[in-house]
Amino acid sequence: MKFFQVAKWGLKKDFGRELYVQFLATDVWTFFQASVSWNDYASSPYFHLSMGNGRLLGIIFWTYKFGFDVDVFARNWNTSYTGEEE
C-alpha cells in the first residue's frame, strides 16, 4: 500500500476514451486531477463549476463528443467498479 503517489495517468475505455492524470495522490485524496475525453454519444454543450461535496474546486466542460474535467483537492476518481487494475 502506497501512502503517497506523485503522478498517475491512464486511459479508460467506456462509452468512449478518457485520458486522465492525477498529481499528488493518496489512497483517498488527490491534489489535482484532470481528464480529457472523446465520447461515443453526442450531447448539448455543458459547463459545470462546483465547490464542496468532496472537492475544493471542480470544473466540467462538455460539448458534442469532447469533454474535459478538472478537480483541485478532491476525492480520487475510483475505477474499481469496472474491474480495471491500476
Task: Express each pLDDT in 57-74 by its tens digit.
Answer: 999 999 999 999 999 999
In the 3-class helix/strand/coil scheme, how is the chain assigned residue by residue? CCCCEEEEEEEEECCEEEEEEEEEECCCEEEEEEEEEEEEEEEEEEEEEECCCCEEEEEEEEEEEEEEEEEEEEECCCCHHHCCCC
Amino acid at 1: M
What's the pTM value of the predicted model, to 2 decimals?
Answer: 0.74
DSSP string, 36-51: EEEEEEEEEEEEEEE-
Which cell is 39 given? Answer: 465520447
Query: Which pLDDT tens digit goes with each residue over 4-61?
Result: 778 888 898 888 899 999 998 887 888 999 999 999 988 899 999 999 888 899 999 9
